[in-house]
Chain A
């Protein structure tokens, strides 16, 4: 069962703080207080962290800190030199994220996600999440 996807759209700094607190609150209320949450930042030079290992059932939140609109793409992207990334156990493309917006997803299927950004895939935005029971 895929968990709810949360999206924050802060219009002001104050709203951002409120939205972050609300998101955390809502997330913990909706998913139970024992769900682990991990944040992956989309920065100007790539994903941070670019390599991650999490337990199944962890909620991963991608936060776009850049001024370009990004999606998270785990469907198995092909770059323009004809080389491709493998699709993840759950192949998805997030909604477009503007600066300051967050996409959250609970990863339940075990396996390795090698993902990039959309709509234009970028070498600097290749990252890996391994979902495995620790």
Chain B
């Protein structure tokens, strides 16, 4: 008993140490912000609140439209027999790996080619709907896979097809949709690069502009607080839905039954599928077209150095954050500490510019020269950025995994081997998703690289962004292609590695 208490104490101390170590940029910002009187004046400015509400409302409406497209598309995909539907679904969610501003720019290029308007609120809305579609499609596909087939078939017997979609399908997968909606809204309100392509002003852009104008991390942190609070709330909602995501996990891994309805309904389904195909075909085709029509030797030595630097740093940051996040996720699964969740939520919602300035502030105070001004500073910045996301995804995976298998394994074996040879493979979905998202985030990250990369290095994200603004779209296409291929190769390799061992879940 004493031994267990001692062990629990050590685990708690370690968990809080990791958390506070990673949260040091946030602490530095809070301390820095105590100097300012901005707090008393910021909240009185009406236009700031108006911009904040506009930003949130815009994203909410765009994502709601995406949901209305994603669900029927997911249903149609799930009617394909065998692995065709899954493969097609996987392909259609691939644009998730593309940075949102590159996606937006490719669409802008196509619109300009067709002599259509390529700026303004409505175009921004259109592209926002498309860019959030892959994540929602993935949520809907996973949701549909979790519904027992007999339940789906039964729902069709007595109900009109339109009602079947909105009164049976939607409610059954609503938890997954809400999870997808929360994540999409989180990414959308914090995205400033995509709106800037279409000249749309957002609260996040304003934070960046104010930071640029003021240059004080603490003051900008205070200004960013409404966004941070909203983001934290969204993540909290996402986590609250986890028990419901586990329900109905009997698993319907076969195909679902196709349903048809009145002509209007069929047109709606066809339209949804067409939009889903369009969000994939247009930008990917634009990438290949730009590559093909460009001269050879597009990839310069400088690009090679940037890619090497970015890939290595992404790889190292993911490797570094993974054990920390896994440890934290296991600790949260056992002890459910509200304080830790609160700090994690705030860290998750912190904009990159704040992480960067907080990191510089903190490491500047320490005066540790090996880190400050060198690549470990950027590595630390990436770890801070990735840690909350990794922790949450692994936590969700743990909650979703089969606890009876784990308990059975605990009876016969103990020690590190158990964790690496059993637990790791039980929670593989969260690891693979975290890895892919982490790779995508670090490779497309601009602000952190700008603020923290050591002199003499340029990350691939910055190169891509600069090429965009120099109008070298073909160079961008080439680099994006390589980035996406790298991510898919690594992600696919990890997937094969982890699913080469049985996860222990029987397919129904």
Binding between chains A and B: no
